[in-house]
Amino acid sequence: MAWNWQLQGWPNFEWQPDLLRKREQTFMENAAIAVGTMRHLTQGDREDIVIELLSADAMSTSAIEGEILDRDSVQSSLRRQLGMAAAPFRSRPAEAGIAEMMADLYRAPLAPITEARLQEWHRMVMNGRRDIVDIGQYRRHKEPMQIVSGAFGRERVHFEAPPSDRLAIEMNALLDWLNKTAPDGPNPLAALTRAGIAHLWFESIHPFEDGNGRIGRAIAESALARAISIPTFSALSKSLLKHRKDYYAMLEAASTTLTLDDWLSWFADRALEAQASADDLVRFLIEKTRLMDSLRGLLNERQEKALLRVLAEGPDGFTGGLSAHNYATITGAPPSTITRDLADLVEKGALLRTGERKATRYHLNLNIS
């Protein structure tokens, strides 16, 4: 099997722009609406949204690689990186490193992708790693860079990247293309198309010993943000994590061809899904603020603690809804108190009740549909 970088014509990818035209238009229209919404929020609300989106992306891009991060640690690191108030919280190297890269993406949406920036991102992502030789540098080993699965003796090679001695040439070609196809470049490309190609191209080169997936997804996020020309984030990795199996399968299929219609169509759908999820989060945080403002001074300590715990789960709340058992776990209240507290929260409009007896569940009463 020949990999894409071994094919005649590499890296001259082919695709049909008409297949993506409607998706590209939808992406830009949705972005304009999101920008308008953000401008009507208070600074505190904007900061909360930024932290939620950046932390969701940081945790998801790491989870794709099988690394589970602590949410509080990531968010605390992000607040420090962005100069926002942060409670004292000692972050592990992994959380601090990925947060630093996400903060750099957010602070500099118009900054070009350069070799120096990529190498700095690699140092951030590899923060605390002692098993990587070439941190902050392209790989230099002579052994093939392969993505392999399966037990010893029954390995399956999903992809093999170009050898180390070709990396300078390959990366220079990609970086030159990124500059030329930027919105202000001589050959600008539409946002989803440029992001999808950039991500696949970078993954095909696989220039670093480790961390290529996280950096490749950061490149895609950078391409999407640069098309909008303001600091914004859609938490693309959250959508890719949701479709992780298909994501790997699509990357593998695209690694043997220069025709990218299938990959770009799939990637565009994931980017639009991420955009819609980010919009849901923005509306959720707006409604969360509205709800808590309307209840200020009306809740007892138990009710406030339980409500904040449910709100911390995000737009989806507790899976299946809040139960009396959940309430007891959160507050430690006895059954008779739980019944009164929950009934009062329903009466005050904070929760909606469904079901009866043991099947009774409570859901946030937010207008985010």
> Which amino acids are annotated catalytic?
206
Length of the chain: 369
**Residue 216 assigned to a binding site:** yes
DSSP3 helix / strand / coil % (the chain, rounded to 5): 60, 5, 35
**Residue 130 assigned to a binding site:** no
Alpha-carbon span 264 to 181, nearest angstrom: 16
For 202, counting Cβ atoms within 10 Å of its Cβ (0-12 exposed, 13-18 middle, 19+ buried), the class is buried
**Residue 211 assigned to a binding site:** yes
**Residue 314 assigned to a binding site:** no
**Residue 44 assigned to a binding site:** no
- Using alpha carbons, select from 5, 2, 228 the residue that is nearest to residue 105: 228
Query: For the chain, how long is the longest CA-to-CA vector?
Result: 74
**Residue 106 assigned to a binding site:** no
**Residue 280 assigned to a binding site:** no
Structure tokens given for 31:
């972005």
**Residue 80 assigned to a binding site:** no
**Residue 217 assigned to a binding site:** yes
**Residue 138 assigned to a binding site:** no
Q: What letter represents residue 291's amino acid?
A: L
Alpha-carbon span 100 to 107, nearest angstrom: 10
| DSSP category for residue 148 | E
Q: Which residues are annotated as a binding site for ATP?
A: 210-217, 247-248
Going by the annotation, the residues of the binding site are 210-217, 247-248
